[in-house]
Amino acid sequence: MTKRFWLIFVSLLLFSLASEAQIISFGLKGGINLASFKAGPISPEIPQFKNLLGLSGGAFVSFSLGSFIIQPEFLYTRWGSKFDQIIDGYPYTLQYRLNYLEGVLLLKWRIINQGRFRPIVFAGLSYGLLTKAKLVLFDNSGSYVDSIEVKDMFKKSELAAIFGGGVEWKWPSWTISLEGRYHLGLSNIASSAGTEFIKNKGPMFMLAMAF
């Protein structure tokens, strides 16, 4: 019943937006993110997490209401983190690689709604479903050593806040946009990771093309 309710609700919302929108556009976007964990409470057992470079990409639809835009997105994104550890007297780097299928809803505002270059700011929410989780081990030279599945250590979903800004480059039949955003995890994703909480966080830099 709950899934059916949300499916009907989202369908009605999109229909309402399509009826009111002055311009509807579809597009593709992709980019990189510098993922890391926020973990606590602080203790010697928690490693010093570092940024892990990941990729993100997907599709979106924009409903333009004058200077305001409502933009649902569907992305496949890698979050996680990395840290250094001594194992049997040798230094290693371990990477948590968490892959998510994300549904994002953004409210965007064009600060200037005329001309070819249009600055924008935005904020919204992201809901991610965990599809894969691995702990990957590299030696001191950066060579791959081993990996294990760790999906049971993390919860199946994540809620996050999104905010950022960028610029649109407008052409007659298409638009290119460059944006920087920050992903701030709101929900604890730790299931049995040995800490009270773990949250995804990190900046993202994305390039998009809309038609």
Does pTM surpass 0.95? no
Give per-residue pLDDT as tens, 154-164.
999 999 999 99
Q: Write the CATH number for 81.
A: 2.40.160.20
In degrees, rounded to 5, the angle at the alpha carbon of residue 20 between the alpha carbons of residues 172 and 173 is 10
Name the CA radius of gyration of the chain, rounded.
20
Return the closest-CA partner of residue 98 out of 30, 183, 41, 162.
183
Is 117 contained in some domain? yes
Give per-residue pLDDT as tens, 171-196.
888 999 999 999 999 999 998 655 67
- Per-residue three-class SS string for 22-64: CEEEEEEEEEEEEEEEEEECCCCCCCCCECEEEEEEEEEEEEE
Is 2 contained in some domain? no
> Could you tell me the residue range of the domain that residue 35 belongs to?
28-210
Count of domains observed in the chain: 1
CB 129 within 8 A of CB 156: yes
Instruction: Give the rounded percent of residues in the chain with a pLDDT score beyond 70.
Output: 86
108 contact partners, CB below 8 Å, separation of at least 6: 62, 68, 69, 70, 71, 120, 121, 122
**pLDDT over 70 at 1, yes or no:** no
